[in-house]
Structure 1
């Protein structure tokens, strides 16, 4: 770990990614809070979250662009563009539909640059850390710090909104983006002086659209050919749809308690639970049975949110439990996906997983906004909890899923057992 911290290029990479996550967290809290307190309508919050998340569905399409150009330069451009966009959002904030429409356009544009930033950012790491052992350590440090930065960012975002107003929060997030872009600019200049990195096969400018589409299709077909992964992906779509219902409900929940601090506090509780779950996952058996049980546990945590008294302390407890179960599920599922995937297809499969995971979020945002006009916040948690419990129960009923273990990943690739009950 000390070797990593002495690596100048890695420190620049890590610092800029940290600033990006920090800016995203503050921006997310401030944006949804402004929309909720301006229009007092979950429907408007749903439209806003859709604009925030829809571009992530197509993030895999940036792969060829990142292969053709400097990943550090693209990361710099993406952060710089987001910083500029964030400066304009508080200037346009107002109760009129025109103001809201303009904000939605800016949010959608910012989300496109965000969808470019993260894959470009992770492409940089193997270029910076060529040693395999250092690369594993770098990935571990980056992954574990993301949740911690999200926790701090959401806590600070709620504090800034409550004490200084949402406008200041946008300016702080913009400053973080500009600082991160500056670090990437310096990193890009240093990498240019290093020996040229070999480009992946087919990364030149002569690749045909047909070949490009065929390679994208191959990643999706691989996921579908593995019965265990196929079940996970289908149920993940349902689960992420359920979670997007909650994201729409949370701003109005915070408003009902009278402060943005309560709103951000719920996210802090979730990320705290996620950290606990991620740490605990390494000590648990790596089997489909445990994944199924923690899926059910996630759903029951949301049912607990519905059943517990209205005091914020009880609600936070339920959210911590939800985060803990979600953290375990995320670590175990991602480990299985990586172990089952051939190395030559890892990039395409990971891009496909990202796109599929985000597929239902925009739809859930729109439906969640409509449901929030008719249902109480607790009732949305009840609905989401029921859907997730059903997903976990389906996994538990499928023998090929609940009996799946790390040993099964040693089978030849493509030998997927048929589903059995």
Structure 2
């Protein structure tokens, strides 16, 4: 009789019983919703302020700049405490998105406020998803990691799709400016949830040895890790996958650029019909 390794089944309920994981997952869901509201609201507001697809295209291009620089984030995440990253990004984003309704209330809102804020906030939020992914192996067991990752991935797709639709309804009912105020609330809620996220250090055995030399070697080790990551991607199938993702993102951005103008034209036709 062939020898078989015992199989350990991990149920979703087992993962959710882990309060730290539940907080991290709930925070991610709310963060995803906030990102969707912010993106849809920003693109619509840019078009509403200018009536030009050139500016929506410029906004979409500016939002891609943080994505281009995202490869610089990974080595930093490995060196920093994760909870301050999770909390700090959410509170910073909450304050950042509130600038738009504040400036609008004062009567000084122009498209340049939105165009400047969009890439800055997106760059800051570029730290939160790698930090969440880095936290997972530290709060769930290795046998639970695959299912935990699947729950995170599913949340991104599902919540993003629903939040995009909700954003459209809210813009129609309340306007794009109000959407930014609502968005700030989502970031605050996510920050409160992240307060309860604690992680265990998987490298406790080397902490004492490495702490004495951290200050002297931080820059060198960061560059070493960065070069190692680039070399790994370059020498694997990931380079081909990334190329396909780049092409897919290009098509997605091109579609998103014209969506506000298209939605506005459809709305104008419907209003004349009635």
TM-score above 0.5: yes
Rate the CA distance shift 1:22–1:107 in 2: closer, same or farther, 3 A.
Answer: same
Q: Distance in 1 between matches of 2:226 and 2:233?
A: 12
Which structure carries more relative contact order (alpha carbon 8 Å, separation 6+)? 2
Number of the residue aligned with 2:188: 178
Residue 61 of structure 2 is aligned to residue 61 of structure 1: no
The 5-angstrom pairing of residues 25-40 of structure 1 reads 25-40=36-51
Residue 170 of structure 2 is aligned to residue 160 of structure 1: yes
Number of the residue aligned with 1:198: 203
Rate the CA distance shift 1:170–1:224 in 2: closer, same or farther, 3 A.
Answer: same
Rate the CA distance shift 1:64–1:243 in 2: closer, same or farther, 3 A.
Answer: same
Q: Distance in 2 between matches of 1:236 and 1:143?
A: 16
Rate the CA distance shift 1:119–1:231 in 2: closer, same or farther, 3 A.
Answer: closer
Residue 261 of structure 2 is aligned to residue 256 of structure 1: no
Rate the CA distance shift 1:148–1:239 in 2: closer, same or farther, 3 A.
Answer: closer
Number of the residue aligned with 2:229: 219
How big is the alpha-carbon RMSD for the aligned residues of Structure 1 and Structure 2?
2.6
Q: Is 2:36–2:164's contact at 8 Å kept on the other side of the alignment? A: yes
Cα drift, residue 234 of structure 1: 3.4
The 5-angstrom pairing of residues 98-247 of structure 1 reads 99-129=110-140, 131-188=141-198, 191=199, 196-198=201-203, 204-226=214-236, 228-247=237-256
Q: Distance in 1 between matches of 2:65 and 2:104?
A: 22
1:207 alignment partner, SS class: helix
TM-score in terms of structure 2 length: 0.82
Cα drift, residue 196 of structure 1: 4.4
Q: Is 1:93–1:103's contact at 8 Å kept on the other side of the alignment? A: no
State the Cα deviation string for residues 139-195 of structure 1 (Å, max 9, x = none): 11111121110111011111100011112211111101001101112324xx5xxx6
TM-score in terms of structure 1 length: 0.55
Q: Distance in 1 between matches of 2:59 and 2:158?
A: 25
The 5-angstrom pairing of residues 10-409 of structure 1 reads 10-93=21-104, 99-129=110-140, 131-188=141-198, 191=199, 196-198=201-203, 204-226=214-236, 228-258=237-267
Q: Distance in 1 between matches of 2:35 and 2:88?
A: 16
> Number of residue pairs matched?
251
